[in-house]
Structures are given as structure tokens and as C-alpha cells.
């Protein structure tokens, strides 16, 4: 094979190609990754949630969130064998990556078998920073976790009043009060077997929670059997703080009883009775 100044021809061509495209190509000789492979980074204990990383031109890089949506996320989830896409987080939701930003303006049709088959601006062509790194949250395959139970926190002696918390993606989180109303509260009360909803307190009436804010802009019709069936912005997608945590006050598992005293005045035995 020909060489120039002792540089093998194949390596020289690689260097010329790298320089001409303005991309640093640094193959990882010990890497077992293949061209177009993807993985999800910084997703905690889940291999099916995280920042999208794709292996191209010999190294791992990220994907810009310009035009990133649920269809694109679905292709990633399918490629990873992670079930359906639950959300397509933007703005480096799973932290900022490093190295090259390989893809921008990704536009999948949904039929692609892997992300690299989707249309995009061109490998390495972008106008992004790592604060725009795209992510995905996929449904866990063969998950045995029960999704969607709710409980009410910080309600004192009542299990039928308090801050709404919902179990999703393996942990408890709160619900934002944007558009939160009595219809939404009724679904929670029904799910808990707590009778009818009396009020739907907002602004962290029962104190601020911690951890993820799972639901925002909840809009129940009232016919749902559980809160997770109501429409919302997308699991984990919100523009809220915990000072906007939603609450409910339910009637209780037993109706209140009024007792008549000897002098014909009434006293209430309870306000919202619970067992």
C-alpha cells in the first residue's frame, strides 16, 4: 500500500476526510460498538430511559433536540427492544453529553428499524449545543412494576385528603396544579375508594413534595378509573415547581353522621370521615 512520509495510505485518507468535513474522527480500537448503534445514558437504574447516544464514525455522540418528537423516540425504543416510547424529553433533560453532536433535525417516519435510517441534517451537521441533547423514556420491557397507583400525603389523620402522589417509572412523584380541578380530583377519590371529591386544592396546600413531578396539565373527563388514564402533557414533562403540587380532599370512606342533642342543636361527628 502506498504511503506519504511514512503515513500509510488508508490512515492518510482518513485524516484528509476528517479534516475536509470538520469532524474529529477518533476510532476506538477496543470498542465493540457498531455503526448506528444507540444507547441511553444517565437514565439512573433504567436502560430504557436517558440521553440518546449514537455511535457514528468511530465514536459516541449525541442527538440535538431540534424537531425531536415521540415518533423519533419510538424508533430509538424499538431499536433498543424497550417497548413503546412514553416521552421524548428535550433540553438535556438527562444531563448534557460530550463529544460530537452527530444528528440534528431528525425526522423519522416511524417505520425505521434504527435511528440512523431516519432523515436528518447530515451526520455531524448541526447548529446546537449540548444543552439541547435529546432523550427518550421508553416503556420497560417485561416490567413487573405496577404503574399508576396513587396515595395522598401529608393529610393528617385522613387517608382521603392530602397531596396527590403517583407511582410511575419506579418511583413516587407529584402532580402539578396547572388546570387541576374538581373533575381531576374526583378521579383520584374514586381510585382510592374515598367517595366524592370535595375540593381540589392547589399551590402545595398540603406541603411541597420531593422527587419528580410526573404529571402536568391533567385533564380528566371524569370517567377514568385511575389518574394515569387522564390526558396530560406527558409523563415527566412540566414547567412547574413543587410549590404547585396538587392536592385533593375527598368525602371519605364513610359518610358523616349528624347527632341531635337533647336541646335540638346539631353537632357534626366528623368533617371527612375515614377508616
- What is the tens place of the pLDDT at every residue in 187-210? 999 999 999 999 999 999 999 988
- Please state the φ and ψ torsions of residue 272, each to the nearest 5 degrees: -135, 100
Lowest mean pLDDT among 88-97, 166-175, 260-269: 260-269
Helices (H) and strands (E) in the chain, counts: 3, 16
For the chain, which domains are there? 31-138 (3.10.250.10), 150-258 (3.10.250.10)
Predicted pLDDT at 190: 93
For residue 88, CA distances in Å to 114, 197, 234, 242, 273 come to 16, 33, 9, 22, 42
Strands (E), the chain: 3-4, 7-8, 38-41, 49-56, 59-63, 85-87, 101-103, 135-138, 150-153, 161-168, 171-175, 197-199, 213-215, 247-250, 258-260, 266-268
> How does 121-154 read in b/e, with b if 16+ C-beta sit within 10 Å?
bebbebebeeebbbbbbbebeeeeeeeeebbbeb
pLDDT at 271 over 60: no
pLDDT band for position 44 (50/70/90)?
A: confident
67 pLDDT more than 90: yes
Please choose, from the candidates 167, 163, 158, 168, the residue with its C-alpha nearest in 3D space to the C-alpha of residue 180.
163
Q: What is the tens place of the pLDDT at every residue in 164-185?
A: 999 887 778 899 999 999 999 9
Amino acid at each position: 500500500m502506498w504511503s506519504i512520509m511514512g503515513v500509510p495510505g488508508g490512515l492518510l485518507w482518513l485524516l484528509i476526510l476528517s479534516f475536509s468535513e470538520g469532524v474529529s474522527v477518533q476510532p476506538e480500537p477496543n470498542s465493540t460498538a457498531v455503526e448506528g448503534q444507540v444507547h441511553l445514558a444517565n437514565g439512573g437504574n433504567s436502560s430504557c430511559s436517558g440521553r440518546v447516544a449514537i455511535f457514528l464514525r468511530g465514536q459516541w455522540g449525541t442527538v440535538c433536540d431540534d424537531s425531536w418528537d415521540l415518533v423519533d423516540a419510538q424508533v430509538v425504543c424499538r431499536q433498543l427492544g424497550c417497548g413503546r416510547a412514553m416521552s421524548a424529553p428535550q433540553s438535556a433533560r438527562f444531563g448534557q453529553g460530550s463529544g460530537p453532536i452527530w444528528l440534528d433535525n431528525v425526522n423519522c417516519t416511524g417505520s425505521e428499524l434504527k435511528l440512523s435510517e431516519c432523515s436528518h441534517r447530515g451526520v455531524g451537521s448541526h447548529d446546537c449545543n449540548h444543552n439541547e441533547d435529546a432523550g427518550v423514556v421508553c416503556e420497560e420491557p417485561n416490567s413487573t412494576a405496577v404503574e399508576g397507583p396513587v396515595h395522598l400525603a401529608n393529610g393528617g389523620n385522613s387517608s382521603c385528603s392530602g397531596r396527590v402522589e403517583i407511582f410511575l417509572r419506579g418511583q413516587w412523584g407529584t402532580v402539578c396544579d396547572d388546570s387541576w380541578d374538581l373533575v381531576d380530583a374526583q378521579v383520584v377519590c374514586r381510585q382510592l375508594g374515598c367517595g366524592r371529591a370535595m375540593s381540589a386544592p392547589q399551590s402545595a396546600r398540603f406541603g411541597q413534595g420531593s422527587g419528580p413531578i410526573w404529571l402536568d396539565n391533567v385533564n380528566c373527563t371524569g370517567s377514568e378509573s385511575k389518574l394515569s388514564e387522564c390526558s396530560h402533557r406527558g409523563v415527566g414533562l412540566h414547567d412547574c415547581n413543587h410549590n404547585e403540587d396538587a392536592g385533593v380532599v375527598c368525602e371519605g370512606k364513610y359518610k358523616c353522621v349528624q347527632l341531635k342533642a337533647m336541646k335540638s342543636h346539631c353537632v357534626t361527628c366528623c368533617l371527612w370521615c375515614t377508616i
